[in-house]
Chains A and B, each alone.
Chain A
Amino acid sequence: MHREDIIQRNNWQQKMEAIGFDFHSIDGRYWEESACYCFSVEEIDMIEQVTAELHQMCLEAIQHIIINKRYDDLAIPELFRKHIEQSWLKQEPSVYGRFDFSYDGFNAPKLLEYNADTPTSLIEASIAQWFWLEEVKPEMDQFNSIHEKLIDRWKKILSQGWIREPLYFSCVDECQEDYSTVQYLRDTAYQAGILTSNIFIEDIGWDAFGKMFVDLEEKPIYSIFKLYPWEWMIQEEFGQYILSNKLHIIEPCWKMLLSNKGILPILWELYPNHPNLLPAYFNSFPLNMPHVRKPLLSREGSNISIYTSENTLTTEGLYGSEGYVYQAYAPLPKFGDNNYPVIGAWIIGNEVAGLGIREDNSLITKNTSRFIPHYFVPKD
């Protein structure tokens, strides 16, 4: 694994906008193609194998949480625990998730967190870097079959009878990135043959008479994909109605257990000393070594604190009242002058589908961190 400085394309902005990636320069410079990361086939194979294994371990961990009622550890509201269990027992289908790793090309990748409920940087990983590769390094390969796996996944979910059409796609009304991501996902569902529709999360109606969620035409909503955190939905005014309604939501309710940072200490309990896990605990870190404090429900790098013998690095935010986990500190590798990448490995359904790389000038990856394309050298 190494980082290459390369010449960016002329008019790359227009090329990105043409494929729906219209937030390429959000917060200044987000898509960054003046550099890229190069991997060997062996490294790609290893990342794939590690991701597949961790995915299986996470599914085992869900079983453990449910059987042992570990909901208090994850600050899951009592009202929704049965709903989570039912969602899991019914095997409600998941579409996607993204594991984030610290990886330097030499040592084993270490799991930092699992973005299981509302993962983004999807357009970037699935299509933006694919088109970049086709134009810039067509003789090389890329670990990225996210697009076709998404279409296949939607086909399977449809064929199994989970969707009562139209399938609504929803996000908040004030975020360009979310809207574009949802429209991309909707496109893949459309290509899978699903009749789709669109509704902003704020526009979802509750018909108190019919006891159902409705769209702007007051037609019933039976199936919905939401790019909106489960933990937010269940605490908002309409959250209670999810319990008494047959609305089918993607990602499923059981994903709340995996997107919660509490999954990290539970994985460490179940698989102690696993080479791809970092020691992690609830409440406090027992060892006198550098560690990271993460809120159970933090997103986009908010309220993260890194404690080392030299100093403490903290990000701001409004999370943490729900509790924290404490994870051993695995410093992100440094490439070039001041570039710290995080490897995001995508799961579509139950398959590992590709990777995307976010990079920051600090040791904490945030919503403003750059996206850098990657390639690997195919074997002869």
Chain B
Amino acid sequence: MLVSSSRQYCCSQYWVNYMNRRRSSEIKLLLVSVFILTNGCSGSSDYNYVNKADCIAEWGEKNCERNGSSSSGGRSFTYRDSSRTQRLNTRASSVRRGGFGSSFGKSGGRS
């Protein structure tokens, strides 16, 4: 009985300490790990996703293609950046681009 109550105290104290922790209890990343494995922000041309829905949500269905064969376990989807360049170059519309971003370079924008 004594052992039991001692253990109980020990465990409940542990639980109190655990619950009072000031750090996040867990950290999950759902998008980042997929992006970062293959993409930088400089010179990257492809963007990989683990599921097609995420790729389509970002770039549209026609721009997402499956990587690898299903027999080899390939199940990621890639948006190919060349279509971005193509869109920018071929669309004739009332849309202009490049009106933001010119200040970057004189210094970083981070703080």
B24 touches A175 (CB 8 A): no
**If the complex has contacts A228-B100, A236-B101, A378-B20, are A127 and B29 also in contact, measured as CB distance less than 8 A?**
yes
Cross-chain pair count, CB within 8 angstroms? 194
**If the complex has contacts A118-B110, A183-B31, are A207 and B104 also in contact, measured as CB distance less than 8 A?**
no
Count, chain A residues at interface, CB 8 A: 85
B94 touches A209 (CB 8 A): yes
A184 to B35: give the CA distance in the assembly, Å.
10
Q: Which of B30, B36, B94, B110 contacts A191 (CB 8 A)?
A: B30
Which A302-318 residues sit within 8 Å CB-CB of chain B? Answer: 302, 317-318
**If the complex has contacts A201-B101, A202-B101, A319-B107, are A190 and B27 also in contact, measured as CB distance less than 8 A?**
no
A35 at the interface (CB under 8 A from B): no
B57 touches A238 (CB 8 A): no
A187 at the interface (CB under 8 A from B): yes
**If the complex has contacts A174-B41, A175-B42, are A232 and B109 also in contact, measured as CB distance less than 8 A?**
yes
Task: Give every chain B residue within 8 A of A17 (Cβ-Cβ).
Answer: 36-37
A119 to B84: give the CA distance in the assembly, Å.
29
The residue among B84, B93, B95 with the most chain A CB atoms within 10 A of its own CB is: B95
Query: In terms of DSSP, what is the predominant structure of the interface of chain B?
Result: loop
A229 to B109: give the CA distance in the assembly, Å.
6
Bitwise, A123-153 to B at CB < 8 A (1) or not (0) is 0001100110100000001111111100000
Closest to B111 in A: A115
A179 touches B27 (CB 8 A): no
Task: Give every chain A residue within 8 A of B11 (Cβ-Cβ).
Answer: none
Closest to B54 in A: A190
Closest to A207 in B: B95
Task: Give every chain B residue within 8 A of A195 (Cβ-Cβ).
Answer: 57
Q: Which of B40, B96, B102 contacts A205 (CB 8 A)?
A: B96
A143 to B109: give the CA distance in the assembly, Å.
27
Distance (whole angstroms) from the CB of B98 to the closest CB of chain A: 6
Distance (whole angstroms) from the CB of A373 to the closest CB of chain B: 11
Which A160-176 residues sit within 8 Å CB-CB of chain B? Answer: 166, 171-176
A237 to B102: give the CA distance in the assembly, Å.
9
A218 at the interface (CB under 8 A from B): yes
Task: Give every chain B residue within 8 A of A354 (Cβ-Cβ).
Answer: 22-23
Closest to A189 in B: B31
Bitwise, A339-373 to B at CB < 8 A (1) or not (0) is 00000000000000010000000000001000000
A87 at the interface (CB under 8 A from B): no
B68 at the interface (CB under 8 A from A): no
B36 touches A204 (CB 8 A): no
Closest to A168 in B: B58
Distance (whole angstroms) from the CB of A236 to the closest CB of chain B: 5
The residue among B27, B36, B58, B100 with the most chain A CB atoms within 10 A of its own CB is: B100
10 pairs of A and B residues whose beta carbons are closest in the complex:
A179-B41, A238-B99, A20-B32, A202-B101, A209-B94, A232-B103, A237-B99, A115-B111, A120-B110, A142-B23
Known contacts A197-B57, A208-B94; 7 further A-B pairs (Cβ under 8 A): A176-B42, A187-B32, A217-B60, A229-B111, A232-B104, A300-B107, A319-B107
- A-B contacts, 20 of them at CB < 8 A, read A20-B35, A118-B110, A141-B21, A142-B23, A144-B22, A171-B41, A175-B41, A176-B42, A180-B32, A184-B32, A187-B29, A187-B32, A191-B28, A205-B96, A210-B94, A218-B95, A228-B100, A228-B104, A229-B109, A300-B110
